[in-house]
Amino acid sequence: MSNRRSRQSSRASRISDDQMIDLVGKLRQFLPEIRERRRSEKVSASKVLQETCNYIRNLHREVDNLSDRLSQLLDSVDEDSPEAAVIRSLLM
């Protein structure tokens, strides 16, 4: 993860600075940690990529958990209960 190692790797494997600045700018609203780095010029490509990966993984996990919750929710719902009525109106 050291900068020295990144510089020694071939040009082709590095994301350009312009691309990285562009990426950081767009991700700012989604990643609170990066928002604080606005003023610094050097943003580690490796760090941004790692945070992006973590963010996507977390979102995947949330979708999985929410699918779990929704399936349990529908399982425990009586046909005549108010929950069923609300869900039915949401989904119909």
Binding positions for other proteins, rule: CB under 8 A: 1-2, 5-6, 8-9, 13-16, 19, 22-23, 26-27, 29-30, 45-46, 49-50, 52-53, 55-57, 59-60, 62-64, 66-75, 81-83, 86-87, 90-92
CB neighbour list of residue 21: distance below 8 Å, 6 or more residues apart: 43
Burial 22-55 (b: 16+ CB within 10 A, else e): ebbeebeeebeebeebeeeeebebeebeebbeee
Q: How far is the CB of 11 from other proteins (least distance, A)?
A: 11
Q: State which residue, 33 or 70, has the beta carbon closest to other proteins.
A: 70
